[in-house]
Amino acid sequence: MIVNIMSNTSISNKSIIVLSKEELSKLGHDPMPALKAIRLHCIDCVSGVSKVRTCSITKCSSFPFRLGNNPYRSTSTDKDETLSHLSTLGHTPMSPREALQLTCLDCCRGDKKEVSHCSAIGCPSWPFRVGPGPYQKPITEAQKAARRTNLSKSP
Ligand code: SF4
């Protein structure tokens, strides 16, 4: 169940920008990957599962991910053809979370502040609209060290 933020007294307006997993759960958001959130957003956007496939808003940042899979990580034999088609439509490789955040930005007419303070908490994209994503596992010290090593190797 999604509750209206204004009627929820346990979460202050100050903390609305980024919420913990537990706080999101209280608002009715179950943990899910950004890809699934895009899929739910798309179904909502066109009012039906069957219409998502035929969405004609090809410039929407969520378009490449609308069917619930990531074409940039696909192992399908037609991957090259799909990526070439997406490139023709103006899409560049990005993660589902990045695409979702661009869709939010578009929804808020390009105003990042408005995205941060978005009050549409029932939107499946809401938990992901800012930051690294609420369900992201914190990176370990070993991962941080590996990233530092990779950065020092880059030209
Ligand atoms: S790709 Fe964009 S416009 Fe199309 S259904 Fe998804 S959110 Fe809506």
Q: What is the mean pLDDT of the chain?
A: 87
- Within-domain flag for 11: no
Centre of ligand 1 to C-alpha 18, Å, is 24
Residue 142 pLDDT? 84
Residues with CB under 6 Å of ligand 1 are 41-42, 45-46, 52, 55, 57, 60, 62-63, 66, 103
Q: Which atom of ligand 1 is nearest to the CA of 62?
A: 1
Residue 141 pLDDT? 84
Q: Which atom of ligand 1 is nearest to the CA of 43?
A: 5
pTM for the model stands at 0.79
Q: What is the spatial distance between Cα 61 and Cα 126, in angstroms, rounded to a whole number?
A: 16
- Within-domain flag for 81: yes
Q: Atom 5 in ligand 1: which residue has the minimum CA distance?
A: 42
Comparing CA positions, the residue from 114, 28, 105, 20 lying closest to residue 62 is 105
Residue 42 half-sphere exposure toward CB, CA atoms < 13 A = 29
Please spell the DSSP secondary structure of the chain, one letter per residue.
----GGG-TTS-GGG-SS--HHHHHHTTPPP--HHHHHHHHHHHHTTSHHHHHT---TTSTTGGGTTSS-GGG---TTHHHHHHHHHHTT-----HHHHHHHHHHHHTTT-HHHHHT---TTSTTGGGSSTT-TTPPPPPHHHHHHHHHHHHH--
pLDDT for 33 beyond 90: yes
- Within-domain flag for 93: yes
Residue 4 pLDDT? 35
Of the chain, the end-to-end C-alpha distance in Å amounts to: 50
Both tokens of 45, joined, read 């956007």
When divided into structural domains, the chain yields a total of 1
Q: What is the spatial distance between Cα 36 and Cα 33, in angstroms, rounded to a whole number?
A: 5
Domain that holds residue 138: 16-153
Q: Atom 1 in ligand 1: which residue has the minimum CA distance?
A: 63
pLDDT for 15 beyond 50: no
Report the residue among 57, 58, 61 best suited for mutation to probe ligand 1: largest number of ligand atoms under 8 A from its CB.
Answer: 57
pLDDT for 139 beyond 80: no
